A and B are shown apart, each in its own frame.
Chain A
Amino acid sequence: MLKIMMRRARKCAVVAAAGLMMMSAQAAEPIKIGSFLSITGPASFLGDPELKTLEMYVEKINEEGGVLGRPLELIHYDDVGNASSARNFASRLIRSDRVDIIVGGSTTGATMAAVPLIEQAQVPFISLAGAVVITTPVKKWVFKTPQSDRMAAERILTDMKDRGVSKIGLISGTGGFGSSGRTQTLEVAEQMGMEVVADVTYSGSDTDMTAQLTNIRNTKGVEAVLNFGFGQGPAIVTRNYAQLGMELPFYQSHGVASDSFLELAGSSAEGLRLPASPLLVPDSLPDNDPQKEVVQNYKAEYEARWDSKVSTFGAYAYDGLMLAVRAIEEAGSTDPEAVREALENIKGYVGVTGEFNMSPDDHNGLDADSFRMLEVQNGEWNLIN
């Protein structure tokens, strides 16, 4: 009897000792955050600020003592905007680097290429790309920080409705962003009982959209015009719009919400509205806005560290990293299932992009109100609501 008890006690002691040893080993071991981003190549305007943000905040968190007493280690690769290399790097992050969580995927293409692998390997993944397909339908291990184009469409159409508009003219780019935005706009318009009476497109390399706009202008009943597009195209549309002397309310998408768009479109942009991140107007946010402090801090810290202008894309990475840190803290370990569950239950995290309220049915956690409606006045962004 005594012997058995002794044996049991010894077993317990061994297990406890082994456990202790593991714990201390873990304490020294860093938490590995993996990332694949489009740091160079055509999507570098996304990946570059994202990497800078991740690097700078990993450094900062480590200086402040790390997470769960462990330092963070950032392992990142450059997918050059190429979906197949994104997949390869995701595989490397999972299999050879054995990361605890992945925060990355600058473009929808790169994200979607890596998703099957990540779902299979069961690693929590926070994507930094926009399209609605990433989290709809919900995938168990996949989360994302940017608002989807659907929310942008909702925000714009609601604003139009408030101005009494029910018939719109749509001009969209034929690229991925524009065509996805077009689909979402058509769907949302139908839901809201609005009518898209003119629907024209332009290709990314077009240098003059006067013909398409004339087409919209000559369509009877158009009360407002929306341009869904990316890059220099929307700036040309904006200029042509002004040249044609069109006076209808004009909207752009969040795809051009940056200062460089204002520079290109110049005075033609006067009066146009678009949904955007509060990051564009940090100082005009009302004082009771919970995001004001986060937004101002991120802008100040980023610009002080890198001496370049802050961008909304970097903010996606900021929110991604902070959500990951928060989930790991909440889970109390890096056990993938525990972290995933913690991520799924994050409520009320106030980030730069918006306030995140995740749930098992919503792995994005933002609503359309996280977009601020801006209007261009005197060549500057102005907060409308």
Chain B
Amino acid sequence: MLAEFLQYLFTGITIGATYALIALGFTLIYNASHVINFAQGEFLMIGGMATVSLTAMGVPMAVAVVLAVILAGVLGIALQRLAIAPAKQADVVTLIIITIGASIFIRGIAQLVWGKQYHVMQNFSTSEPIQVFGAVLNSQSLWVLGVGAVMVVALVLFFTKTLIGKAILATSMNKDAARLVGIRTQMVLMLAFMVSALLGSVAGIVVAPITFTSYDIGIILGLKGFVAAAIGGLGSGVGAVVGGLALGIVEAMTAGYISSDYKDAVAFSMILLVLFFMPRGLFGAKIVERV
């Protein structure tokens, strides 16, 4: 009984931690620009696929990971410079549509370069599962949780302790005022895209040994990440983490105790319920209109 519950919990937390990392990426860009970046899932895919293909070329794992993350970061900057920046006068909805276009473009390129097959990545450490009270935990799950926690702490420090982080926060609060005090807001936007690309690619790399990776893995994971961000309240870091974990756990519990047929239905009903009673999500900022 306990073993069963623990098993579902482990499954839920692992996948939930991935959702949380993706949701954080959404949150970052949303905060800096109020744009929902639907290419977030593609950063995830680039991370996983680049690591797999680099290791296949004989590059050591650690180096491959670093290179893949850098590649994703460059891609994030390119996305902002080449697709978002030229349309800076456009309104937010247009920008969101641009990110959807960009995601289709990136996926198309990835399909050409890497083909359509699924690829395997080895577990970072042992592939022997760990036994906990009768439940089994994939050692990679610990990596996902650990790396997720480190990323969250790093982000908190980045936003509270560094000038650049504070500049991003300032821009998100009031773009005009931030510009008046000398913050280069375009630069800040670019940074936000880069950081969220880094986050996404790291998430993509740590989960790849569990989920496999392919050119289109970003679609569904990106969507789930967005759901997590919306449940937690767009723009809230805590919300992204809580929303991601909650979504993952609810999915796993439904699949285990009720039926996997209803898994997605329950997840999406959850977002409806939350948004119905708390339109800004669990931790969304209360908007106060000043007159």
On A, residues with C-beta under 8 Å from B are 44-45, 174, 200-203, 205-208, 210-212, 214-215, 218, 231-232, 235-236, 243-245, 260, 263-264, 266-267
Known pairs A245-B136, A264-B118, A266-B120; A207 contacts B207 (CB<8 A): yes
Task: Write out the residue numbers on chain A whose beta carbons fall within 8 Å of the beta carbon of B129.
Answer: 243-245
User: Nearest residue in A to B6 (C-beta to C-beta)?
Assistant: A214
In the bound assembly, the distance between CA atoms of A202 and B256 in angstroms comes to 11
Nearest Cβ distance between residue B242 and chain A, in whole angstroms? 20
- What CA separation (Å) do A200 and B262 show in the bound complex? 11
A236 with B261: CB separation less than 8 A: no
B94 is an interface residue with CB less than 8 A from chain A:
no
Taking CB atoms, residues of chain A closer than 8 Å to B118 are 231-232, 235, 260, 264
- Decide if the interface of chain B is mainly helix, strand, loop or mixed: helix
* 8 residue pairs, one from A and one from B, having the closest CB atoms: A207-B211, A211-B256, A211-B255, A205-B220, A232-B118, A243-B129, A210-B11, A214-B7
In the complex the two chains form, is B136's CB within 8 Å of A212's CB? no
Indicate the size class of the contact surface on chain B.
Answer: 20 to 34
**Among B207, B214, B260: residue with most chain A CB under 10 A:** B260
Check A211 against B7 for contact (C-beta < 8 Å): yes
A202 close to B14 (CB less than 8 A): no
Report whether B210 and A200 are in contact in the complex, using a CB–CB cutoff of 8 Å: no
Q: How many A-B residue pairs have CB under 8 A?
A: 73
Q: Which residues of B contact A (CB under 8 A)?
A: 4, 7-8, 10-11, 14-15, 116-118, 120, 127, 129, 136, 138, 207, 210-212, 214, 220-221, 252-253, 255-256, 259-261, 263-264
B16 to chain A, nearest CB (A): 11
Q: Assess whether B220 is in contact with A212, with CB atoms less than 8 Å apart.
A: no
Q: Give the residues in chain B near A215, CB-CB below 8 Å.
A: 256
Interchain nearest-CB distance for A354 vs B (Å): 27
Residues from chain B with a CB closer than 8 A to the CB of A232 are 118, 212, 214
Given contacts A208-B14, A215-B256, contact A174 B261 (CB under 8 A): yes
Q: Tell whether, in the assembled complex, residue B260 and residue A44 are in contact, meaning their CB atoms are under 8 Å apart.
A: no
Partner of A211, one of B212, B220, B252: B252
Q: Are A264 and B255 in contact (CB under 8 A)?
A: no
- Contact (Cβ within 8 A) B260 A211: yes
Pick from B4, B7, B252, B259: contact of A200, CB below 8 A: B259
Chain B residue nearest in CB terms to A246:
B136
Q: Residues of A contacting B220 with CB < 8 Å?
A: 205
**In contact, B214 and A203 (Cβ under 8 angstroms):** no
Q: Give the CA-CA distance A47 to B85 in the complex, in Å.
A: 42
Inter-chain contact A208/B11, CB cutoff 8 Å: yes
Report the bound CA distance from A208 to B116 in whole Å. Answer: 20
CB-CB nearest in chain B for A213: B7
Q: Report the bound CA distance from A206 to B116 in whole Å.
A: 18
Task: Give 27 pairs: A residue, B residue, CB < 8 Å, sorted on A.
Answer: A44-B116, A200-B260, A201-B259, A202-B255, A203-B263, A203-B264, A205-B220, A206-B260, A207-B210, A207-B211, A208-B11, A208-B211, A210-B136, A211-B7, A211-B11, A211-B252, A211-B255, A211-B256, A211-B260, A212-B260, A214-B7, A214-B8, A215-B256, A232-B118, A243-B129, A264-B118, A264-B120
Neighbour of A260 across the interface among B4, B117, B127, B263, CB < 8 A: B117
